[in-house]
Every structure is written in C-alpha cells, then in structure tokens.
C-alpha cells in the first residue's frame, strides 16, 4: 500500500488519517521574509488538517552568519546529522525548501538512499547572489540546475518562473501559489498614527531592507508625496541616512502591518529578484494598488485593474493611483492559503514501503 495515500487532498480537506511530512529549510524564524511566512503558514494549515509536519531548520544546530547578510544564519551540521533526523521522523514525504546547507544535506541523504523528494524555487537565487557578490547571475545557475534536477517535482509560484526554469532545463515543475490571511489583511485595518499629517500620496514599501530588494529605486523615484518603508535589514541605516525625507517605521506584523497597507495610496514593489512577492497580495487585500517593474512576480500578479507595471517607476505609481480600491481588495481576497496548501500537498511525492525502509536506515557516517 502506498504510504502517501493519507497526504493527498480529497476535496477541501484531506479526510483520511494524518500524514507525516518533513520540510527541510535553511530559512526559518526569527528571519522575517516571504519564504518563512509561506512555510510557517503552510505548516499551520497542514497541522490544522491533521497532518504531522516536522520542520528541520537551523534551530538546534550550530550556525554562522551568512556572508554579507548576518541576520541569516547558516546551519553547521555534522555529516549525517540531517539524515539521522529524517530517519527518526520516518515521514511519508520529504520536501526540501531551500538550497542552503540543510537542503544540501537532505538532498544528499535522499539521493544516497534512493528516496524521492520535492524542492521549491522560492528565490531568484542567481540574481540574489549576483547583487551581493558583483558576479554575473550566470555564474550561479549551474548550482541551481544541479541542486534541483534530481527532485521528482520542483514547486514554483508563477508561470513566469516556470518558463525561466524550463529554459534552464528543469522541466518537472508544479504550481504552488501563495495566500493571504484575510482575517488580518483587509481595507478596514486602521492606519498607523505615524500616517497622520503626512503629505500625500503615501507611497509604501514593505519587506526586507536589503540590497537585492532594490529599495533605492523606490526611494530615489522623483514622485511627490511621502515614501514610507516598513521592515528591517542590513541596508536600513545607509538608506535612512541617504533619504532623510523617507519615513522608516521598522518591523510591523499583524493588524499593525495591515494598517500600513490599508492607509497607503500605492504599494510600491521595486524588487527585481523575487519569484512571487507575497507583500503585493497582502497590499491588494487591504485595497491598495501596486506599482512595480515588469519582472517575474509582478508580471504574474498585477493586472491593469489592480496596479501598474513600468520600467519607469514614477509612471507605474501615477497609473496605480487611479485603480479602484474595491477591485484591489476583491482580487487580493482571491488568494487563499487553503488553496495554496492544497497545491503543496498535490505536489508532494509518495514514499513507497521500500523507500520508507531505506530512509529509516540510520546512516553510519
């Protein structure tokens, strides 16, 4: 009998017994980013449906700060440590979410044991590293191809990313979208007190304050009004010093974050390296139109009724201001975490009985 039977969704919620799912990720709390929010919310929904989800993350391992990005900790694992965790968990399915040290160790163990696994392409890794090293993105694509090629399926959030990976020879692709917590993000969220008296229009950025997010393109944009930045990160101090007229509010979560979205006139998404852009659909759910560059992520999410795309960010902002906020809210509300989690479940790959036995053979190395 296939051990995977209880994982597969049946209608809105899986109705058979709970399944055991192992998710291996180098991105986890206390990091604050779209990958962590996606994984943690997916785990929450899965557990609510009765699944047993174990996350193998940097928690519990010695770690070192990532070069140029100390807020991200890279786990230092002894040979076989991740394999022993997987053997002990004895999951029905293995999902490797990131290409870092933990993902690398899990990949190696599964390949040695001939155990199927899935991966996800959450970040434009080659572009991300290129921005931090000064090397061309093409330098890093061989690693991405090598890492993901053995996966039974590679989960991607948008059709643009699917096409990009196909061009790289990665073809076993499946769709895994994202969702919005509609109990939190809505047009009724009260704006923060810091918005009172600001010169309009209020133009908002939310996310990590880091070089790969291209925030300087937003802050340098010659559009009138007040630019507001919500979030934290390694580039915050330098950007605050360079753009003293911008308002930096720091990290916000929950209803406070929703109010920042709802009280803004336009949400500006300047990143060119994201594969989706979870913050865009959160902003839309709060009734705020989006202005962005015509790149992967925005190309798949932003339509003419809810925002504007242009290589000239000022033109995109100007056009977005005329979008109907009710249409934005309705569009944002169409993104459901339950539907996204169903897609995640459908993308997982079964472990047959012999594969499960092989996975549970504790490695000696």
pLDDT surpassing 50 at residue 116: yes
In sequence order, the 6+-apart residues with CB closer than 8 A to the CB of 123 are: 35, 273, 274, 275
Q: pLDDT at position 33, please?
A: 86
Can you tell me the mean pLDDT for 66-87? 82
Q: Which CATH number applies to 20-179+339-359?
A: 3.40.50.2000
Give the tens place of pLDDT for each residue, 185-209. Answer: 999 999 999 999 999 999 999 999 9
Q: pLDDT at position 17, please?
A: 44
Residue 327: burial class (beta carbons within 10 Å; 0-12, 13-18, 19+): middle
Domains 20-179+339-359 and 193-335 share a fold: yes
Q: pLDDT at position 285, please?
A: 98
Q: Where are the domains positioned within the chain?
A: 20-179+339-359, 193-335
pLDDT surpassing 90 at residue 126: no
pTM attached to this predicted model: 0.89
Q: pLDDT at position 31, please?
A: 85
pLDDT surpassing 80 at residue 289: yes
Q: pLDDT at position 216, please?
A: 98
CATH architecture of 193-335: 3-Layer(aba) Sandwich (3.40)
Can you tell me the mean pLDDT for 138-153? 96
Q: pLDDT at position 15, please?
A: 38
Q: pLDDT at position 360, please?
A: 81
49 phi and psi, to 5 degrees?
-85, 0
Q: pLDDT at position 265, please?
A: 98
SS (H, E, C) 310-353: CCCHHHHHHHHCCCCHHHHHHHHCCCEHHHHHHHHHHHCCCCCH
> Is the distance from CB of 7 to CB of 19 less than 8 angstroms?
yes
Q: pLDDT at position 16, please?
A: 44
pLDDT surpassing 80 at residue 100: yes
């Amino acid at each position: 009998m296939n051990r995977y039977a209880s994982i597969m969704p049946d209608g809105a919620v899986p109705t058979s017994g709970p399944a055991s799912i192992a998710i291996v990720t180098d991105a986890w709390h206390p990091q604050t980013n779209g990958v962590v929010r996606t994984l943690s919310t997916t785990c929450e929904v899965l557990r609510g449906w009765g699944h047993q989800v174990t996350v193998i993350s940097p928690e519990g391992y010695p770690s070192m700060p990532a070069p140029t990005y100390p807020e991200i900790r890279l786990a230092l694992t002894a040979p076989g440590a991740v394999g022993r965790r997987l053997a002990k968990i004895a999951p029905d399915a293995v999902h490797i979410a990131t290409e870092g040290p933990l993902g690398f160790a899990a990949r190696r163990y599964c390949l040695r044991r001939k155990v199927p696994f899935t991966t996800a392409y959450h970040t434009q890794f080659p572009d991300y590293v290129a921005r931090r090293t000064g090397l061309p993105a093409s330098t890093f694509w061989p690693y991405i191809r090598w890492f993901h090629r053995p996966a039974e399926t590679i989960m991607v959030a948008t059709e643009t990313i699917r096409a990009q990976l196909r061009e790289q020879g990665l073809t076993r692709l499946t769709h895994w979208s994202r969702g919005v917590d509609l109990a939190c993000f809505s047009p009724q969220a009260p704006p923060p007190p810091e918005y009172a008296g600001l010169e309009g229009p209020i133009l908002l950025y939310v996310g990590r304050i880091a070089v790969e997010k291209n925030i300087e393109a937003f802050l340098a944009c010659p559009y009138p009004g007040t630019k507001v930045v919500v979030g934290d990160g390694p580039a915050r101090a330098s950007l605050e010093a360079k753009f003293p007229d911008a308002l930096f509010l720091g990290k916000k979560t929950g209803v406070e974050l929703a109010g920042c979205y709802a009280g803004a006139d336009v949400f500006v998404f300047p990143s060119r390296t994201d594969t989706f852009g979870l913050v865009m659909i959160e902003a839309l759910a709060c009734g705020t139109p989006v202005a962005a560059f015509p790149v992967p992520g925005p190309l798949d999410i932003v339509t003419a009724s809810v925002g504007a795309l242009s290589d000239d960010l000022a033109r995109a902002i100007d056009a977005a201001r005329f979008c109907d906020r009710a249409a934005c809210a309705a569009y944002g509300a169409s993104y459901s975490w339950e539907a996204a989690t169903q897609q995640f479940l459908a993308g997982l790959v079964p472990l047959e009985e012999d594969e499960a036995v092989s996975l549970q053979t504790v490695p000696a190395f």
